[in-house]
Amino acid sequence: MPAEEFHEWLRREGRIVIVGASLAGLRAAETLRAEGFTGSLTLIGDEPYEPYDRPPLSKAVLLGKASPERTDLPRRREIDATWRLGVAASGLDLAGKRVRLADGDEVPYDRLLIATGVRARPWPKEDEAQLDGVFTLRTRDDGVRLHRRLNASPRRVFVIGAGFTGSEIASACRDRGIAVTVAERADAPLVGALGGVVGSVAADLHRENGVDLRTGVMVTGLEGDSSGRVRAAHLSDGSVVETDLVIVSLGATRNTDWLEGSGLGAGPRGIACDAGCRAFDFRGIVTDDVYVAGDVARSPHALFGYQFLSLEHWGNAVAQAEVAAHNMISAGADRRPHLWVPAFWSSQFGVNIKSVGVPSMGDEIMITQGSLAERRFVGVYGCQGRVIAAVSFDNTRWLEFYQRQIELGAPFPLEYPTVDRRPEGRKPVPADFPDPSLPTHGPTVILSGYSPADRRLVFTPGRR
Amino acid sequence: MTQPSLLSRITDYANRADPYPLYAELRRTPVLHEEEGGPYVVGSYYDILGLLHDPRVSSDASNLTAAGDDDLSGPEATGLPPSFIRLDPPEHDRLRRIANSSFGPPHRPHRIDSMREELAGIVRELIDGLGETRQIDIVDEFAYPFPVTVICRLLGVPREDEPKFRGWVDPLVASLDPDTRKNADDEFQQAAQEARMQLGMYLAGLVEQRTKEPRDDMLSDLATSHGADGTMSMMEVLSTAVLLLIAGHETTVNLITNGMLTLLRHPEVLQRLREDPGLSVNIVEELLRYEPPVQLVPQRTCIADIELRGVTIPKGSRIWLVLGAGNRDPERFKDPDRFDPDREDIQHLGFGSGIHSCFGAPLARLEAQLALAELARRLENPRLVEDPPPYRRNAVLRGPRHLQVTVDGIRP
């Protein structure tokens, strides 16, 4: 069948299966219908819930301002799909074009979208992870449990890992007047994502808000009492912190285990795909019927040296899902590349943090507006003479400009004056990222969500 | 005969009723600079948006190499220190944050919403006050008095003082209109000056009172602010109060009047609004795109050379951002010259964008929504007396000076 005819048939009566019923899966399904796909659509999700929003789980939900059961994602349109919720996909038969489910069922497809996302990395010592009072935070169920425990007035909460999620949890605890200790292997919070210059501002924020922040230490063990409840954490500096509640926020693991042996290019770092969201098989040959979107995808980005980026960003999940859905039912020339400029936000200790680009690629940072000491600033990251990223603390409204500079490959350092430039911002300084060869608990580009109210369009070079 | 410059045609009063064909012409020259010393005029959506977020663009008049001889880009003529609309960070941010801590989230998320009933009451009273008349001037009898009353309540001006207060505001606001000012006689100027003094003294007295006995109003909050940003000085409180008063006044008048005019030109939409007051939300958003009350932002300058679409705008130049043109840019909006409240993609520039995006936007939206829905409901068979109506001379705050409408009656 010629390609055009095939796609016409596919749009009319093809079978599309989406594995992963969260943000990316839902938005892909909606895009398929919006673009005129009338065939059968199946969504498979291992959680028993319809798609819900995760960013509130570490923010409003912990503060008691939103119920963890009520963060359902708003729907853009009817999708008329078969939902297979509460049952995980367990395998993939690439040649036979079938997804195997944990309950033994098999679902055939003409086109498959994998959007299985990530899960929280558990505490590596299994017996300690089993202790009552040891949590991770990723799912709605996690949110419900944690919320309940925080309501029971714990004497102290212990957070392992000061990435974005860990910091947000610590912030929520302080807001609720709960004593909290945060242990971080690096020298400051957020260092992996934003570097040491910004990390030291984050450290000040923690301490000023009453967090007992311990940096440069590792947690060597969690101790339970006789009834199996956690009672203390042991640190590499020999200290012991008594606690009723331990929250492990050591980043995420990609949900690719189910693809083992499938022949797809899937592994612990995600599923490699091309800029059009088509998955590679393990030989590095691109498939044309398996697509990937969201946190589980790794795709090359032209703006960032064609590096394969894996992004755990809310906005990326949406944009990539839309591109994947479009490309699944479009013939060659109509396909679009996924060229989203990474962007994420976090809110902690009353400060709005937002970033665009890939800060960790930067070797220098320049505070172009505001001041670190006031905790209100824009920092611009440079890499080999060009602007590669920017971060703002309570200065969100300027970031669009810097995003454009990243898109344009504008020169770094920024020689021209900007409003509110302070003496400290005249020269770039080393951004102070940890040696990338050292193990960290987070991916290169990190975390948290992206405000739904602030959703960006997909970056297109040259305007439509 | 040489054609007059495009800029002079845009500001020419003769073209006030319909500047949009001129804007289309403007967009064909992405950066318009017609004469030495004149402003650099930008009218495309994406370019305007870019400049509104550009940290090389300043709102501080002292960064101008030379103020223009137009009346649009000079300093504020209030006799007070510059308010945050004419300041850059960090002063802008500090003052705006303090003002906002009394106005919106996160500190006062309910300030505006809790005024809904009160605003509806003011609208009701104004329409009740029209009496048996069969011809109404929407501007003088409704749109004009409405926002002053609202701002009085917001600031905390006691009701019994409202008429006195309005008596000062009217000549003050009138004197800010460049054309009124140009044509005014000495007596008018003096009256405006006198009103400004009286208003300043009155507000100062009120601030002093509220400092001693704070109430639940914005003046009390501004006067007693004590958050991380410290306090506002008396002069800062005054210039902020006057900013809210002036910026929240004529803009709202124009939004409501442009709204009523547009609805009367699109009777099918007016009918839908009459049947479904909830439609006012979409209508007001589309109005902010289609007939924005602030047509252009003339007060920006750049503190570095900026290259835009191959043109270098030199440091210290005046930059005009024509929001009204950006809002009708076909590169951004499908079928931009059509008034379509069902439009889904509607990120207009009506409230600007970036750090100076309209402070009072939530209030303006609510005022216009309530006003238009209630006018639609209560005016029986409203008809335009003249189309186009007579316009104010002001090219920046563009709107009808009068909007005469005949009605068959007024519903209870």
Segment among A353-357, B237-241, B275-279 with least mean pLDDT: B237-241
Q: Per residue in A229-273, pLDDT tens?
A: 999 999 999 999 999 999 999 999 999 999 999 999 898 889 999
Distance from CA of B93 to the nearest CA of A (A): 10
- Contact at CB, B88 and A420, closer than 8 angstroms: yes
Mark whether A325 and A228 lie in a shared domain: no
| Residue A105 to residue A432: CA distance in whole angstroms | 51
**Contact indicator for A181, A214 with CB cutoff of 8 Å:** yes
* B1 in a structural domain: no
What pLDDT sits at residue A64? 86
- B354 and A398 within 8 Å at the Cβ level: the answer is yes
The answer to whether residue A439 scores a pLDDT higher than 50 is: no
Residue B72: its pLDDT value, please?
A: 52
Examine the domain organization and report whether A266 and A367 are in the same domain: no
Q: In which band, very low, low, confident or very high, does the pLDDT at B176 lie, cut at 50, 70 and 90? A: low
pLDDT of residue B68: 57
A378 and B CB contact within 8 Å: yes
User: How is residue B239 written in tokens?
Assistant: 């210039």
- Same domain, residue pair A83 and A169: no
Does some domain include residue B405? yes
* A325 and A246 within one domain: no
Distance from CA of A142 to the nearest CA of B (A): 27
pLDDT at B81: 83
Residue A129 falls inside a structural domain: yes
Q: Is the pLDDT of residue B200 over 90?
A: no
pLDDT in tens, B42-52: 999 999 999 99
> Would you say residue B57 lies in a domain?
yes
**What's the confidence (pLDDT) of residue B180?**
65
Contact state of A418 with B93 under an 8 Å Cβ cutoff = no
Q: Which long-range contacts (CB under 8 A, 24 or more apart) does B201-208 make?
A: B202/B161, B202/B164, B202/B165, B202/B168, B203/B238, B203/B241, B203/B242, B204/B234, B204/B238, B206/B156, B206/B157, B207/B234, B207/B237, B207/B238, B207/B241
- What is the pLDDT at residue B139? 94
Nearest CA-CA distance, residue A99 and chain B, Å: 37
Contacts B304 to A, Cβ<8 Å? 416-418
Instruction: Judge contact between A79 and A41, C-beta under 8 A.
Output: yes
- In this complex, the residue of A404, A417, A419 whose CB is nearest that of residue B89 is A419
Q: Which of residues 48-77 of B touch A (CB under 8 A)?
A: 49-50, 53-58
Tell which of A76, A205, A401, A406 to mutate to test the B interface (max B CBs under 10 Å): A401
Question: A62-83, pLDDT tens digit by residue?
Answer: 888 888 888 999 999 999 999 9
Same domain (yes/no): A382, A303? no
Phi, psi of A142 (to 5 degrees): -55, -45
Q: Do B53 and A401 touch (CB under 8 A)?
A: yes
Same domain, A44 and A75: yes
Choose one of A334, A364, A385: the last residue of a domain: A334
The verdict on A321 and A362 lying in the same domain is no
> Does residue A26 form part of some domain?
yes
pLDDT of A455 reads 30
Q: Quick check: B383 pLDDT over 90? A: yes
Residue A194 lies in a domain: yes
Residue type, B339: F
A348 touches chain B (CB under 8 A): no
What residues are paired with A286 via a beta bridge?
A: A280
Residues 6+ apart with CB under 8 A from B320: B39, B40, B41, B42, B72, B73, B296, B297, B298, B300
Q: How many CA atoms lie within 13 A of A186 on its CB side?
A: 28
Same domain, A38 and A92: yes
Here the CATH number for the domain that contains residue A395 is 3.30.390.30
Judged against a pLDDT cut of 70, whether residue B168 lies above it is answered with yes
Q: Which residue of A has its CA nearest to B356?
A: A397
Residues 6 or more apart whose CB falls under 8 angstroms from that of A417 comprise: B56, B303, B304
Residue-wise pLDDT for B331-357, tens only, equals 999 999 999 999 999 999 999 999 999
Give the domain-ending residue among A196, A220, A250: A250
For residue B31, what is the domain's CATH number?
1.10.630.10
* CA-based nearest distance A103→chain B, Å: 42
Report residue B172's pLDDT band, with 50, 70 and 90 as the boundaries. Answer: confident
Over the stretch A41-55, which tens digit does the pLDDT of each residue have? 999 999 999 999 999
In-domain check, residue A172: yes
**What pLDDT score was predicted for residue B118?**
95
Q: Does pLDDT of B174 surpass 90? A: no
Domain count, chain B: 1
CATH code of the domain containing A44: 3.50.50.60
Q: Is pLDDT of B162 > 60?
A: yes
Cβ–Cβ below 8 Å for A419 and B55: yes
Tell me whether residues B55 and A397 touch, CB distance under 8 A: no
Residue B226 lies in a domain: yes
pLDDT in tens, A395-433: 999 999 999 999 888 999 999 999 999 999 999 999 998
Nearest CA distance, A398 vs chain B (angstrom): 5
Residue A300's H or E segment, with its range, is strand A297-301
The answer to whether B90 contacts A420, with C-beta atoms less than 8 Å apart, is: yes
Give the confidence band of A310 by pLDDT, cuts at 50, 70, 90: confident
Residue A300 in domain: yes
Number of domains observed in the structure of chain A: 3
Residue A273 is predicted with a pLDDT of: 95
Percent of chain A scoring above 90 in pLDDT:
81
Q: Is the pLDDT of residue B360 over 90?
A: yes
Q: What residues make up the domain containing A379?
A: 343-444
Q: State the pLDDT at residue B76.
A: 53
| Contact with chain B for residue A456, Cβ under 8 A | no
Which of B54, B334, B357 is most worth mutating to test chain A (most A CB atoms within 10 A of its CB)? B54
Domain's final residue, options A195, A219, A250: A250
Q: How far B313 CA sits from the closest chain A CA (Å)?
A: 14
Residue A313 belongs to some domain of the structure: yes
A403 touches chain B (CB under 8 A): no
pLDDT tens-digit series, residues A82-108: 999 999 999 999 999 999 999 999 999
B226: pLDDT confidence band, cut at 50, 70 and 90? confident
Q: For residue A192, is it within any domain?
A: yes
**Is the Cβ of A368 closer than 8 Å to some Cβ of chain B?**
yes
Q: Is A376 on the interface with B (CB under 8 A)?
A: yes
- B281 touches A: beta carbon within 8 Å: no
Indicate yes or no: CB of B355 within 8 angstroms of CB of A397: yes
- Residue A328 clears pLDDT 50, i.e. is over it: yes
- What is the 3-state composition of chain B as percent helix, strand, coil, each rounded to the nearest 5? 50, 10, 40
Residues of B in contact with A369 (CB under 8 A): 55, 89
Residue A450 resides in a domain: no
Query: In the predicted model, what is the mean pLDDT of chain A?
Result: 91
Q: Is A397 on the interface with B (CB under 8 A)?
A: yes
A271 and A328 belong to one structural domain: yes
User: Which residues of chain A neighbour B46 with C-beta distances below 8 Å?
Assistant: 463
Q: What domain range is B357 assigned to?
A: 6-410
Indicate the residue of A370, A404, A463 with minimum beta-carbon distance to B90. Answer: A370
Structure tokens at B276: 């479904």
Element (H, E) at B138: helix B138-138
User: Do the Cβ atoms of A404 and B354 come within 8 Å?
Assistant: no
Is B30 an interface residue toward A (CB < 8 Å)?
no
Considering the domain architecture, whether residues A44 and A96 belong to the same structural domain is answered as: yes
Q: Does residue B198 lie in a domain region?
A: yes
Alpha helices, DSSP H, located in B276-335: 280-290, 323-326
Report chain A residues whose CB lies below 8 A from the CB of B331. 463-464
Distances (CA, A) of A39 to A27, A417, A427, B63: 17, 56, 58, 61
| CA–CA min distance A185, chain B (Å) | 32
Could you tell me if A115 and A130 lie in one domain? no
Exposure b/e, B338-361, CB count within 10 A at least 16 = b: ebbbebeebebbbbbbbbbebbbe
A311 CA to chain B: closest CA distance, Å?
A: 26
Pick A416's closest partner by Cβ from B56, B93, B357.
Answer: B56
Please tell me whether residues A349 and A425 are part of one structural domain.
yes
pTM listed for this prediction: 0.89
pLDDT at B67: 59
Which one of A374, A398, A463 has the shortest CB-CB distance to B55?
A: A398
pLDDT interval class at A459 (50, 70, 90): very low
DSSP 8-class letter at B14:
G
The answer to whether position B294 is within a domain reads: yes
Residue B70, pLDDT > 60, answer no
Chain A CB contacts of B303 below 8 Å: 417-419
Q: How many angstroms away from the CA of B67 is the closest CA of chain A?
A: 19
